[in-house]
Structure 1
Amino acid sequence: MLQLPHGHVEAGREPMMPETAAISDDALKEALGTLEEFAQAEYGMNLSDLFAGDEPVSGGEYQNMEVRGSHDALWRVGRLIGITVKEPFAESAPLDGHVSQTGALRRWELDSKKLGVEHPDQWQYRLITGILATEKRKGEFDWLPPENLSEADRVAMFLVDAHGERGVFRAIFKSSRKYLCENPVVEAAVADAAKGRFKVDPLTVTVASGFQPAAQAIVDAVSWLDPTMTAVIAGLLLIITAGGLDRYCRRTPPEPVTDVVET
């Protein structure tokens, strides 16, 4: 069982954020390439295939959940986003009898030696501290760690209590919607991006002209995002342009599965 490192108790602090900068097409291409590599490793599929068709995703076992085509691409691609956030604190591991709700081929196990240390230079650490600084420990976020812990221990407890990569994305999904939904600037930018769309394949990533402005609109809208978090930004835009912002805002996330690791 993972043991949380002990840390001193202190008041919560605002996360360190780099100066605002524009997101480049090259950075988005690199981020989409990263997500493509994870899609291949986690599901044996291309990113575009995760959104296409009605056939169940190949991969691990399913538990009380039929995963079909674009209807549940939100959670498959969302899990890839969760992996990019969790990666510096974890190691990939075989399923070894663990159940995957998304048909994943492997899981990500937290490494206690990588937790409990402050990493303000790490975008994943800043993203989590940003969410913790903006969301209160109540309602749908009642599982967040207490505010009287040190910043590093709160990040560690957040990752533990998320119960997996899909749980990390669930927090991103829920928090992002209060910034993105009913936001006319984001809505217009996403609509333009969806017209041109983009193409992702194992060899080439081509970003449509509207993709970068939409990505920038998302960064400008969400308080805990910054331009270095391109894997999260690109992943969110993939999901939103595939199903529409209205659908993203109306989706009800499945309840957390606390007795298994969510993969």
Structure 2
Amino acid sequence: MEELAEAEYGQTLDELFDGDAPVRASEYDGMTVLDSHDAVFRVGRLIGITIKEPFAKEPRLRPEGQQSQTGALRVWDFNDAALDSPDPSSWQYRLIAGFLATEDHTGYFNWLPPKEMPEAEQVAQFLRQAHYEKGVFGAIARGARKYLCHNPEVESAVTSSGAGLASRGVLDAGLVQTIAQGGFQSAGQAIVNAVPWLDPSMVVFVAGLLLLIAARGLDVFCSRPLPGPAPET
């Protein structure tokens, strides 16, 4: 994920979370995105890229003048052939399919594809509706929150591992890299145990959740709006 951050934003993961690091300003609907919320959206988008990657074409450079809410340097377009014939053995497919199979399609999630639809078609329709990488991540992360938030086992594992030490919103040196390289296994395992549609093969998604929790704390992760294809409710 470190290399992906460099390719997408020209910054390291530490720099994305460091409030004192220079952050590229991006204009979106007349608004300049610069605050710490931008880091959450940016890292969320990186995680979304890893989920979307098997269903996408090779990334292309963003055309000059084209706006991006997160200031991304590249664009990931869907590969229609991959969406029409997805690989059901990939961790990305299983992650999306498991999320769709267990999520209640009401309230915020009333836009999810009907469960009567064949599984592969559900996965493809979800991706097309979520569309942007941050929307893909935001929807799935929102589904995970109901299992992670106010969960004593998860809170204990995150706290004891040290992944929740960044309550000030500032990371200790090297913490991001440690998580990205598979550190804090007890916290990662607690997340996998808590969310019924996660398994250890989905380590990239789990590590991404830990990055956000480490940077902002579990309470903030549970309460802060997440990016998505529909407004927060």
TM range (shorter): 0.7 to 0.9
* CA 1:57–1:198: 2 relative to 1, 3 Å: closer
Matched, 1:147 2:122: no
Residues 205-250 of structure 1 show CA distances to partners (whole Å, capped at 9, x for unaligned) of 4459971111111111111111011111111001011111111111
Where is the helix percentage greater, Structure 1 or Structure 2? Answer: 2
Give unmatched runs, 5+ long, in structure 2: 167-171
1:86 to 41, 44, 52: 52
Residues 161-205 of structure 1 show CA distances to partners (whole Å, capped at 9, x for unaligned) of 00210110111221011000000111111122234967168xxx4
Q: Tell me how large the CA RMSD over aligned residues is.
A: 2.5
- How far is 1:69 from its partner? 4.9
The separation in 1 between residues aligned to 2:105 and 2:212, in whole angstroms, is 27
**Percent identity over paired residues:** 54
TM-score for both structures, normalised by structure 1: 0.76
Residue aligning to 1:26: none
Residue aligning to 1:52: 18
Residue aligning to 1:230: 203
How many pairs were matched up?
A: 221
Pairs within 5 Å for 1:83-162: 83-91=49-57, 92-96=59-63, 98-162=66-130
Residue aligning to 2:184: 211
Residues 118-143 of structure 1 show CA distances to partners (whole Å, capped at 9, x for unaligned) of 52310000000011001122211111
Matched, 1:76 2:42: yes
Contact 1:185 1:217 in 2 (8 A): yes
Secondary structure (helix, strand or coil) at the match of 1:189 reads helix
The separation in 1 between residues aligned to 2:6 and 2:78, in whole angstroms, is 21
Matched, 1:190 2:158: yes
Matching residue's letter, 2:61: P
Matched, 1:38 2:4: yes
Give unmatched runs, 5+ long, in structure 1: 1-34, 259-263
Secondary structure (helix, strand or coil) at the match of 2:77 reads strand
Secondary structure (helix, strand or coil) at the match of 1:110 reads coil
